Structure 1
Amino acid sequence: MEIVPMRDLKNTVHIEKLCKDNGKVFVTKNGYGRLVVMDIDYYKSVFEELEEAKAMYEGLQQMYSGKLKDGIKVMEEMKDKYGI
């Protein structure tokens, strides 16, 4: 984990290298966390994982609430309905 003070944001080349090497940089102001600067690839991977986790959570909610259908039955209904 890389932590830098706010004043170091002036050195954009250094911050960019830290983000590339570590994925993210935590920025502090007066010793307290204020910002997170992320490499774009790290940002994309974090949000992809978040979307996957959200989809899994929603699927589990549907499963526990009984809103899921049996996959084999659905495929048979599709075959009958659409002649697939």
Structure 2
Amino acid sequence: MPAIRPSSDLRNKYTEISDFCHKYDEPVYITKNGQGDLAVMSIETYEKLVGKFELYKLLDEGFDAIEKKKVRPFKNALSDIEKDL
């Protein structure tokens, strides 16, 4: 179940929100006037999330290259690299 807090808690209960984010590795949703406004998370959780997005992007590029036949066997690529040395 997501943690939902009013925006006033950022000012009044910052340490409590920070402790929660570090303990559970999940965001806290902040509301403003009863509506969703922000998601707050620890730096570690944010970096993991960004890392996953970067990995998904690279995997997507790889699958796209395979689909468009823009790949070649590893041995051939390695041979070309060794020739340049």
Amino acid at match of 2:21: C
Q: Which residue of 1 aligns with 2:66?
A: 63
Q: Which residue of 1 aligns with 2:7?
A: 6
Amino acid at match of 1:62: A
Q: Distance in 1 between matches of 2:48 and 2:21?
A: 14
Amino acid at match of 2:4: I
Segments of structure 2 that go 5 or more residues without pairing to the other structure are: none
**TM-score, normalising length from structure 2?**
0.84
Aligned length: 82
Q: Which residue of 1 aligns with 2:75?
A: 72
CA-based RMSD of the aligned residues comes to 1.5
**Secondary structure of 1:26's partner?**
strand
Q: Which residue of 1 aligns with 2:50?
A: 47
Residue 18 (structure 1) shift = 1.6
Residue 31 (structure 1) shift = 2.1
Q: Which residue of 2 aligns with 1:22?
A: 24
Residue 21 (structure 1) shift = 2.0
**TM-score, normalising length from structure 1?**
0.84
